[in-house]
Amino acid sequence: MSCPADRSFCELVVALSTILDTEEETKLYHAWRVALVARELAQQVLPEQATRVFYAGLLHDIGAMGLDDHIVHQVLRPGARLNPEIIAHPARGAAMVAPLPGLGEEAAAMIRDHHERWDGSGYPRGLQGGAIVPGALLLGLADIFDLTVRTHPDRPWSQVRQAMTETAAGTFPPELLTSFNAIMAGPLYPEVATNVALELKMFQIILDLPPVNFQVAEPMKITIDLFARIIDAKHAYTAGHSRRVASYAMKLACGMGWNEAAVQRLEIAALLHDFGKIAVPRAILDKPGRLDDRELKVVHQHPQRTIDLLNSISSLKDIAQIAGLHHERYDGGGYPYGLHDGDIPPGARIIAVADAFDAMTSPRPYQPTRTPQEALAVLARGSGTQFDPQVVAVAGSVLT
C-alpha cells in the first residue's frame, strides 16, 4: 500500500461488500470469494487488470442490492432468467460503481458483462466471444465457482471441478478454463473453499494490494459520498436521506460552535450513519404496517453493524461510535446500548436530531410528512427525553 487512502479505500469497499453479503445473522462471503478467485485468475491471464478485477469482484452483485432475497439464492431458482430485476442487476451495478475514483469505468464494464457468456448464452445482452470485457469472464467463472462450492465446502477440488464442468463447459474460453483448473489444482482451492480460510486470505490481500491510481484529489471523500447514495438507494423512500442528515448535522454543529475539522468528521459519520441498514431486507424496511418482534430485532441491529463496519476501516475508527449511536436517547431509552446523555458522544446526539428531523420531513410509508415547523415542535417536545436539549436549542434557528 503506497498511501493511507489506498488502505482506507480497500477497507471501505471490503466493508461494503461484507454488508451486501450479510443476511440477518449470516455472512454469505459470495463477493469475497468471487473477488479473491477472480484476482488469482487475473494474475495468470490478465495481470495488468488484477486489482480492478478484485474490486469489481467485491462489488459485482451490488446491482442486486434491493432484491427481496440475496442473489445467490435467487439465481439458482427455476425461472431466474425471467426475473427482470435479475436481468437488470449487471447494468444497475455498473452504473453504481462507475463513479468510483480510479476504478470506475473499467471495473463497471466488468460488472456490466459478468453474466455474459463466451457462446452468447448469457445476459443481459447475449454478447459473444471477444465482445465481452475479458475481466467479466473471470468474474463469471469465479461466480459459478462460488455457487458450486458454497453448499459443500468440504468437497475435494476434483468433485467441484466435475460439477463446474457441467455448468461452465462451452460458456467460457477453453484456455481460460485450463488456467482456472491449473490454479485450483495448486494451493488455491483450500484457501478459498471454506469461509474461515477465505477471511484469512482477505486480510492478507488488504495489506498487500497494489495502490490504485485515483487521479482525483479526494478519493475517500468521493467514495464516501457514493457509498451514502448506495446506502440510500436500497429503499425508495430513503433517497437522499444520508446526504440530508449530513447537511443538517453540519448546520447544527456549526450552530453549536464546533470547529471546521470536527464538523468535517461529523459529516462523514452522518453520511455513513445507516451503513448497517444495507443488511436489513427491503421487505422489512418497506413494510407499511407495524413490524413484528423478529423484524424489529433485525432493524435494531443496524446501528451496531454500522459501528462494526466503521471499526474495520483504519481511518474511520474514530467516528464509528458517533455514526452508530444515533438511535440512543438522551434519557437512556434508546438502542443498542441504552446510554444516557453525557455517555452518548456529542456527534451522535447531533446526528440523532438531524436523523429525526429528516425522517419527519420526508415522505415515509409509516407516518405523515411534517412541515419543518411541525418537525421542530416534535423535537422541542422530545428535548431532554429523546434529544439533547443543547442540540434542540439550536435546531430552531439552523434547520429552517
Q: How far is the CB of 366 from Fe ion (least distance, A)?
A: 14
Q: Which of residues 80-109 bind Fe ion (CB under 5 A)?
A: none
274: contact with Fe ion by CB under 5 A? yes
Q: How far is the CB of 216 from Fe ion (least distance, A)?
A: 28
C-alpha cell at 169: 463447459
3-state secondary structure 234-254: CCHHHCCHHHHHHHHHHHHHH
394, containing H or E segment: helix 389-398
Task: Name the nearest CA neighbour of 354 among 268, 277, 241.
Answer: 241
Q: Is 165 in contact with 79 (CB distance < 8 Å)?
A: no
CA atoms of 235 and 278, how far apart (whole Å): 9
143: contact with Fe ion by CB under 5 A? yes
CA angle 83/84/87 to nearest 5° reads 90
CA atoms of 134 and 46, how far apart (whole Å): 8
Q: How far is the CB of 376 from Fe ion (least distance, A)?
A: 18
**Considering Cα of 274, then 278, then 279, then 284, what sign does the dihedral take?**
positive
Q: How far is the CB of 60 from Fe ion (least distance, A)?
A: 6
11: contact with Fe ion by CB under 5 A? no
CA atoms of 40 and 177, how far apart (whole Å): 13
Q: Which is nearer to Fe ion, 11 or 113 (CB)?
A: 113
Q: Which is nearer to Fe ion, 219 or 324 (CB)?
A: 324
Site map for Fe ion, 58-77, x if CB under 5 A?
---x----------------
Q: How far is the CB of 214 from Fe ion (least distance, A)?
A: 26
Q: Which is nearer to Fe ion, 143 or 388 (CB)?
A: 143
Report phi then psi at 334, rounded to 5. -95, -165
Q: Which is nearer to Fe ion, 6 or 242 (CB)?
A: 242
CA angle 266/271/273 to nearest 5° reads 85
Q: How far is the CB of 4 from Fe ion (least distance, A)?
A: 28
Angle between helix 50-59 and 104-112 (nearest 10) = 60
387, containing H or E segment: none
Q: Which is nearer to Fe ion, 274 or 388 (CB)?
A: 274
- Residues that bind Fe ion (rule: CB under 5 A) add up to a total of 4
Taking CB under 5 A as the criterion, the residue among 232, 328, 355, 388 binding Fe ion is: 355
Stretch that binds Fe ion, among 38-46, 159-167, 207-215, 347-355 (CB under 5 A): 347-355
Three-class SS state of 64: helix
Q: Is 231 in contact with 242 (CB distance < 8 Å)?
A: yes
Stretch that binds Fe ion, among 142-150, 167-175, 212-220, 262-270 (CB under 5 A): 142-150
Stretch that binds Fe ion, among 53-61, 153-161, 257-265, 329-337 (CB under 5 A): 53-61
328: contact with Fe ion by CB under 5 A? no
225: contact with Fe ion by CB under 5 A? no
What residue ranges bind Fe ion (CB under 5 A)? 61, 143, 274, 355
